[in-house]
Structures are given as C-alpha cells and as structure tokens.
C-alpha cells in the first residue's frame, strides 16, 4: 500500500500529464485551423497576394521600356545626322538601313500617286500640340503623297514620300505647280513598313488611299520595288 507522499506525487504527475495533453491538443487544433484557413483563401485572396508581384513586374517593364526608347532615340539621331549615301546596288541591304539618309536621282511618275490618309501636318515643335490622324480637326487633316520614282541609274522604280498636303489638295490638278517634271536629285530617309493599326480596317486601302504605310501593298499596287524613302525638307520635291 502506497504512503500518502507517494499518492501525492502520483497525483501531481497525473495533473501534469493532463495539462500537457490539453496544451498539445489546443496547439494541434490551432495548427489545423490555420491550414483550413489557408485553404479557404480562395481566388480573391490569391489575387490580393498577386498585386504586389504584378506592380513590381510592371515597374520593371516600364524601366526597361524607357531604356529601350532612349537607346532608339539615340540611334535615330545618330543615323539621321550622318551624311547621305548612294542607294545600294542591292536593295535588300535597305532592310538594315532604316532612318539612314540616302541620295537618289531620277524622275517622278505623278500619274501613279497614292496617299496615306488621314494624317496631320506635323511641324518642328508641334509634336505635343497636334495628334495624328483621326483625332485631328478637318482643317489639320490631310494625306501623305507617295509617288513612284524611276531611278536614273537602273531600271527600277521606288516609292518616295513627298510630304503632307491638306485634304483639299489630294487631287493632283489642285497642286500642278508642285508636280516637278524631269530628272531631280533628292535625299531622303529609308523607312520600313508600318504595322496595321489594331482597330484599323482589315483592307489596307480604298482605291489609291491607304490607311497606313503598307509598303509591300503600295509597291504591288503600282508595280514598283518595295522601297520607301521620306524626302527630307531640303529636297523641296
């Protein structure tokens, strides 16, 4: 038979065991509750968690895009400030010469003009004042005149963007004085095709009017080489 001291010791031990199991059970219930709670976060909860990640990614993209734009501006400035070169014998070389100035000699074929419209007159310093195309007023809106140009040194015709005219002047007879005849020399900047605007018409043109600079399409339409140069302002053509 156990003495009173031994009985008390056993009682204390039993109480400790009971408290231990009680604390352990409570912790286990808390752990299971947190697991169930994490499982019940749902789409909304995970969407909230994605916000800081998306914000960080967007900020990184904007920094990279700004860096790319600054590099592009530097490259364009460098190319347009170089002295003009003769058009290469192989026109395929022009694919790597965008924005480079070239010098050509030949004659215009005004009877086969095409137009890129609607476009606005953009002058130096006006970039922030005027918008392009559909947002411009009727008085500002016109077209770019794209004219086939027969090269003097080879049996090839290319396209030359002669510049902007108001809508009322897209009819050639209304600007007869500007239809230069005979052989001319001009300098211009090599351009590449524009992409079709996402919301633009699927058909690239309506008659002789194009919605964007579809060089391949205009070249097929007028049976010329798919080459476009923008005549510079000093050429007065």
> Which residue positions in the chain have pLDDT lower than 50?
1-2, 127-138
- Give pLDDT, residue 25: 61
Could you please report the per-residue DSSP string of 138-206? TTTEEEEEEEEEEESSSS-EEEEEEEEEEGGG-SGGGGGGG---S-EEEEEEEE-PPPPPTTS-SSSEE
In this predicted structure, what is the pLDDT of residue 135? 36
Is 101 part of a structural domain of the chain?
A: yes
Residue 108 domain flag: yes
Q: Is 118 left (phi over 0), alpha (psi -120 to 50) or beta?
A: beta
Q: What is the pLDDT of residue 125?
A: 52
Does residue 64 belong to any structural domain of this protein? Answer: no
DSSP state of 87: P
Q: What is the pLDDT of residue 221?
A: 95
The whole-model pTM stands at 0.63
Closest CA to 160 of 221, 79, 223, 227: 227
Q: Respond yes or no on whether the N-terminal peptide bond of residue 214 is cis (omega within 30° of 0).
A: no
> Residue 141 forms beta bridges with which residues?
120
Mean pLDDT over each residue of the chain, to the nearest integer: 77
Residue 211 domain-assigned?
Answer: yes
User: Does any domain span residue 190?
Assistant: yes
Q: Is residue 105 part of a domain?
A: yes
Domain total of the chain = 1
pLDDT of residue 167: 87
Rounded Cα gap, residues 128 and 197, in angstroms? 21
Give 39's DSSP letter. H
CATH number of 169's domain: 2.40.50
Domain assignment of residue 78, yes or no = no
Question: What range does the domain containing 177 cover?
Answer: 84-122+140-231
Asked whether residue 76 is domain-assigned, the answer is no
């Amino acid at each position: 038979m156990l003495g009173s001291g031994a009985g008390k010791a056993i009682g204390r031990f039993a109480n400790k065991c009971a408290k231990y199991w009680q604390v352990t059970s409570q912790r286990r219930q808390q752990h299971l509750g947190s697991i169930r709670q994490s499982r019940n976060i749902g789409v909304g909860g995970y969407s909230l968690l994605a916000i800081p990640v998306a914000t960080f990614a967007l900020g990184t993209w904007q920094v990279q895009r700004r860096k790319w734009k600054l590099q592009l501006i530097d490259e364009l400035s460098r190319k347009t400030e170089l002295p003009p070169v003769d058009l290469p014998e192989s026109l395929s070389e022009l694919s790597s010469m965008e924005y480079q100035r070239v010098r050509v000699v030949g004659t215009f074929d005004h009877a086969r003009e095409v137009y890129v419209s609607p476009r606005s007159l953009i002058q130096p310093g006006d970039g922030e004042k005027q918008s392009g195309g559909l947002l411009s007023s009727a008085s500002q809106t016109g077209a770019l005149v794209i004219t086939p140009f027969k090269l003097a040194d080879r049996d090839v015709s290319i396209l030359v963007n002669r510049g902007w005219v108001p809508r009322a002047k897209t009819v050639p007879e209304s600007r007869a004085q500007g239809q230069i005849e005979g052989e001319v020399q001009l300098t211009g900047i090599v351009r590449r095709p524009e992409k079709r605007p996402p919301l633009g018409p699927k058909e690239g043109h309506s008659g002789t009017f194009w919605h964007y600079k579809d060089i391949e399409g205009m070249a097929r339409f007028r049976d010329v080489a798919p080459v476009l140069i923008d005549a510079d302002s000093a050429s007065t053509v």
